[in-house]
Amino acid sequence: MRAIADDELAAEAQLAYDAGELDRTRELAIRGLEERPEDAELLGLAARSSLELGLGDAVDHFRRLVALRPDDTAAALNLAHAVYASGDADEAATLLAGVVERDPDNLAALRSLVEMHRRRGRTDAALDCASQLSERDASDVLAALDVAELSLEQGAHDAARAAFARVRELDPDEEHRPFAYHGMIEVEIRRQRWRRALDLAIDATQEDRNSLTTALLAYIATQLFGPGEEPAPTSEEIDEALVTERDAHRRLHVEARAL
Class for the domain spanning 70-135: mainly alpha
CATH 1.25.40 describes domain 138-259: yes
Q: Which of 114, 109, 163 is nearest to 138 (CA)?
A: 163
**Residue 58 and residue 51 in contact, taking contact as beta carbons nearer than 8 Å:** yes
3-state secondary structure of 71: coil
Sign of the C-alpha dihedral computed for residues 64, 70, 74 and 76 taken in this order: positive
pLDDT at 61: 95
DSSP code at position 121: T
**Residues 179-234: tens digit of each pLDDT:** 999 999 999 999 999 999 999 999 998 877 678 999 999 999 999 999 988 889 99
pLDDT at 4: 52
Start and end residues for every CATH 1.25.40.10 domain found in the chain: 70-135
- Those residues with Cβ within 8 angstroms of residue 35's Cβ, 6 or more apart along the chain or in another chain: 6
DSSP code at position 54: T
Residue 3 pLDDT > 80 = no
- What's the predicted TM-score (pTM) here? 0.83
Lowest mean pLDDT among 115-119, 161-165, 218-222: 115-119
Percent of the chain with pLDDT over 70: 96
Q: Please give the Cα distance from 91 to 84 (Å, whole number).
A: 8
